[in-house]
A and B are shown apart, each in its own frame.
Chain A
Amino acid sequence: SAVISQKPSRDICQRGTSLTIQCQVDSQVTMMFWYRQQPGQSLTLIATANQGSEATYESGFVIDKFPISRPNLTFSTLTVSNMSPEDSSIYLCSVAGGNEQFFGPGTRLTVL
């Protein structure tokens, strides 16, 4: 298993600003994932981040809005840029290991 931490755990932001969410894993992993869980909805994959390569974005998500960094095998960041109230959501980091995925505690973002 993997232990995943995220910072911040929650934040309240103003429209038009950006927030960077950090994800730290206690072991080296190849693949890291960023999900969004909008209020009352399921998890939606934003992008897959592999170390040393550009992140792969799912349909409906673009790099300009959600830039991702993956500087090493234990760390990744997701930035939510130029935020609007529609970006209010829980953002989760996840890692793959042995055909399973392990999830971080999430970052609850509220955009006013």
Chain B
Amino acid sequence: AQSVSQHNHHVILSEAASLELGCNYSYGGTVNLFWYVQYPGQHLQLLLKYFSGDPLVKGIKGFEAEFIKSKFSFNLRKPSVQWSDTAEYFCAVLDQTGANNLFFGTGTRLTVIP
């Protein structure tokens, strides 16, 4: 089974600071990669995804992520965060075994201070 690691449990940044959240996964085969965001009191929303092609993926709200196969990583980045980015961020991996199961990381809580 997959395992997904998010190394940062809680990140606190000031507005306009740059953000990078780490995500590593364990599966060596073909994977689909996702970042989900959960704003306070709201349900999970897809931020961006990677299936194939350009390893640098751009998502909504200025977020991007880079898939580095050799490092089994899919880190999330944003050059300048806003207070409204305060949320919980989850990395998820869908392996290609046919079960269509998403494996989630433990999540990173981002707090942006105005």
Q: A-side interface residues toward B, CB under 8 Å?
A: 31, 33, 41-45, 48, 92, 94, 96, 99-106
B-side residues, CB < 8 A to A, are 32, 34, 36, 42-44, 46, 49, 51, 90, 94, 99-107
A7 vs chain B, min Cβ distance (A): 14
Among A44, A96, A99, chain B packs the most CB atoms within 10 A around the CB of A99
A to B contact number (C-beta, < 8 Å): 41
A99 CB contact (under 8 Å) in B43, B44, B51, B99: B51
Given known contacts A43-B90, A48-B99, is B106 in contact with A92 (CB within 8 Å)? no
Residues of chain A within 8 A of B102, CB atoms compared: 33, 43, 45, 94, 101
Contacts of B99 in A (CB 8 A): 48
15 contacts between A and B (CB under 8 A): A33-B101, A33-B102, A42-B104, A43-B44, A43-B104, A44-B104, A45-B102, A48-B100, A92-B43, A92-B44, A96-B100, A99-B32, A99-B51, A105-B43, A106-B43
CB-defined contacts of A102 to chain B, threshold 8 Å: 46
CA of A109 to CA of B32, assembled, Å = 31
Residue of A41, A42, A100 contacting most chain B CB atoms (<10 Å) = A42
CA distance A45 to B99 in the complex (A): 12
Question: Which residues does chain A contribute within 8 Å of B106, judged by CB atoms?
Answer: 41-42
Q: How far is the CA of A31 from the CA of B99 in the complex (A)?
A: 10
Question: Please, which residues of chain A bring their CB within 8 A of the CB of B101?
Answer: 33, 45, 48
Residues of A within 8 A of B107 (CB): 41-42
Cα distance A39–B55 in the bound complex, in angstroms: 33
Alpha-carbon distance between A96 and B34 when the two chains are bound, in angstroms? 13
| Complex Cα spacing A101 to B105, Å | 15
- With both beta carbons as reference points, the residue of chain A lying nearest to B88 in the complex is identified as A42
